[in-house]
Amino acid sequence: MATSLGLDEPPQPQTAAYRVLARKYRPQTFSELIGQDAMVRTLGNAIKRGRLAHAFLMTGVRGVGKTSTARLIAKALNCIGPDGQGGPTIDPCGLCEPCRAIAEGRHIDVIEMDAASHTGVDDVREIIEASRYAAVSARYKIYIVDEVHMLSKNAFNALLKTLEEPPAHVKFLFATTEVNKVPITVLSRCQRFDLRRIPAELLAEHFAEVCRKEGVSAEPEALMLVARAAEGSARDGLSILDQAIAHADLEGGGVSADAVRQMLGLSDRGAVRDLFALLLAGDGAGALQALRRQYDYGVDPLGVFRSLLETVHGVTLVKVGTAPDLAQPDEERAAYADWAAKLSFPALHRLWQLMLKGHEEVARASLPIEAAEMALLRVVHASTLPDPGELARRMAGEGGTAIQSHSASSSSKSSPSEPAAAPQPTAPAEFAGLVALLENEKQHALAERLKISGSVIRYAPPELVLSSTRPLPADFTRVLSEALRGATGQNWRVALEDTSGQPTLREQEKSEMEAERRAVLDSPLVKAAFDAFPDAELIDWKNGVAQ
């Protein structure tokens, strides 16, 4: 007697399907929507005051909560409360039938459509036809259109009339990552919300709470690495965290920073700081060894350059004086402060350009590690070279010395009967006189630039030190030193320093004119004139007398 297939097999255990963290922890209330406080406050005020738009458009990068926000708005507008008597609220109960049905994606009056697979005018025509009929069981019939920018031009045009004057029972909720592709005619008919990237600190706190609920221990540094890798996206971060938990040691059961670095191919921040210090010290062999160590640990050479770029950027921000990053380790903050004190802005900008060029070369190289080594060596040798202004000054000094030596030898060979050489002009004792000398030499543009932006730190001919905090061209020191050599016959050292200097000549002129004007206005005669004629204006004066 034949038996049915599988009749004698033991029953198989039923296991629930695993839900990834990004789906499991999708926000169900506005309070769970992290990083979007401004939008939640605006929506809450609109609901309380009954000023509800007929169409909303959510835009932002992937994973910041656009579709989740659309579903939350649908729940907020259709919630009836646990007793069935509630109205629209920014805090939907999550217990009533509309809230539960919307959360489970089965509410008949909340229709979700993916515009990526429904791009044509016929798909939109179905929405237009269905929108004429009242909601079956909800307060509002709601259409959620994801990635709305992928609708065709004809589909957008077909939607315009209904979108501008929809039936009172219909609301449209659009979500898109590329709002620039949405026609302006559609944007003008929607209330727009720009969802911001979620700060890394908030993401790290959120991931810590998720780990607590999952019963998984995680190092704070590991969570911060995950948050930074997410680039402001909660969904991306939860996906990375899911992978990190699976990657964790089963015996320890925790998510460690080293494991996350290994999983993501990230450079160790301490190793990057050591490498950066070797580059600044000009230690080429040490830098190559440090790079190879990271490469042997599995770090992508491109990731090393990305970390070096972040380091240069971080040092520059410290030098500018921005607020410190609270998530930054103390040793990293101290190292950045030390480098910021030692490196000038031109040096930091040069390092940025060198690192950026190296990053581009490694990204397209067929031999990434070799390209990375060559790029690092270029940084090492460039760090030991003088900046272009200093190089020009050295060349000018060496050339001037050679010329002077040649002139001296020539003069020693000349006969006594030859006429004496014309005396060389001397440099003015004051900076203002130097500017006037340049004007006499027809260097009007250079003189005007010195008047406007020449903030003097030190003037001791033939040396001139100006403040680099004022806007000056990149080759200004070279051009000015050449012009001064031609005007005075001396080899000038023109330098820029990153500190404040004296007021410029133009600022001094304005101060003197303002002081003179104030003196005229304070004179008894002028005061009496203004008392007699209150609407009068002081247009001009001469020698302290109003004209």
Domain count within the chain = 5
Q: Residues of the chain with pLDDT > 70: what percent?
A: 83
Evaluate if residue 421 carries a pLDDT over 60. Answer: no
Instruction: Examine residue 410 and state whether it is found in any structural domain, yes or no.
Output: no
* 254-282 residue pLDDT tens: 888 878 877 776 667 788 888 999 998 88
When mean pLDDT is compared across 120-134, 260-274, 395-409, 508-522, the lowest value belongs to 395-409
Measured CA angle at 147 (ends 145, 153), to 5 deg: 90
- What is the domain-level CATH number for residue 145? 3.40.50.300
Does residue 65 sit in the same domain as residue 101? yes
- What is the domain-level CATH number for residue 255? 1.10.8.60
Instruction: Examine residue 157 and state whether it is found in any structural domain, yes or no.
Output: yes
Q: How far apart (Å, rounded) are the C-alpha atoms in residues 362 and 373? A: 9
Does residue 435 sit in the same domain as residue 480? yes
- What is the domain-level CATH number for residue 468? 3.30.300
Which secondary structure element, helix H or strand E, spans residue 143, and what is its range?
strand 141-146
Residue 136 tokens, joined: 């079956």
Query: Residue 11 — very low, low, confident or very high, per pLDDT cuts 50/70/90?
Result: low
- What is the domain-level CATH number for residue 363? 1.20.272.10
Instruction: Examine residue 512 and state whether it is found in any structural domain, yes or no.
Output: yes
Does residue 522 sit in the same domain as residue 397? no
* Domain endpoint, select from 140, 173, 194: 194
CA 365 to chain centre: 27
Does residue 521 sit in the same domain as residue 453? no
- Domain span holding position 318: 270-383
Does residue 249 sit in the same domain as residue 332? no
Does residue 487 sit in the same domain as residue 512? no
Burial 124-140 (b: 16+ CB within 10 A, else e): beebeeebeeebeebbb
Evaluate if residue 218 carries a pLDDT over 80. Answer: yes
Does residue 295 sit in the same domain as residue 397? no
* Domain endpoint, select from 194, 218, 247: 194
Instruction: Examine residue 66 and state whether it is found in any structural domain, yes or no.
Output: yes
Rg (CA), the chain: 36
pLDDT of amino acid 311: 92
* 161-216 residue pLDDT tens: 888 888 889 999 999 999 999 999 999 999 998 988 888 888 999 999 999 988 88
Evaluate if residue 315 carries a pLDDT over 90. Answer: yes
Does residue 129 sit in the same domain as residue 170? yes
Query: Residue 409 — very low, low, confident or very high, per pLDDT cuts 50/70/90?
Result: very low
What is the pLDDT averaged over residues 419-434?
66
Instruction: Examine residue 340 and state whether it is found in any structural domain, yes or no.
Output: yes
pLDDT of amino acid 221: 84
Query: Residue 414 — very low, low, confident or very high, per pLDDT cuts 50/70/90?
Result: very low
Query: Residue 57 — very low, low, confident or very high, per pLDDT cuts 50/70/90?
Result: very high
* Between 307 and 390, the higher pLDDT residue: 307
Does residue 151 sit in the same domain as residue 106? yes
Query: Residue 423 — very low, low, confident or very high, per pLDDT cuts 50/70/90?
Result: very low
Does residue 43 sit in the same domain as residue 153? yes
Q: At what angle do helices 220-230 and 234-247 cross, to 10 degrees?
A: 140
Query: Residue 4 — very low, low, confident or very high, per pLDDT cuts 50/70/90?
Result: very low
Instruction: Examine residue 4 and state whether it is found in any structural domain, yes or no.
Output: no
Residue 276 tokens, joined: 């950066």
Instruction: Examine residue 145 and state whether it is found in any structural domain, yes or no.
Output: yes
pLDDT of amino acid 446: 83
Query: Residue 40 — very low, low, confident or very high, per pLDDT cuts 50/70/90?
Result: confident
Q: How far apart (Å, rounded) are the C-alpha atoms in residues 118 and 495? A: 65
Instruction: Examine residue 9 and state whether it is found in any structural domain, yes or no.
Output: no
Q: How far apart (Å, rounded) are the C-alpha atoms in residues 36 and 30? A: 9
* Domain endpoint, select from 264, 282, 312: 264
Does residue 165 sit in the same domain as residue 204? no
CA 284 to chain centre: 31
Residue 462: asked if its preceding bond is cis (omega within 30°), the reply is yes
Does residue 239 sit in the same domain as residue 279? no
What is the pLDDT averaged over residues 73-101?
89
CA dist 440 → 152, 436, 487, 505 (Å): 68, 6, 9, 17
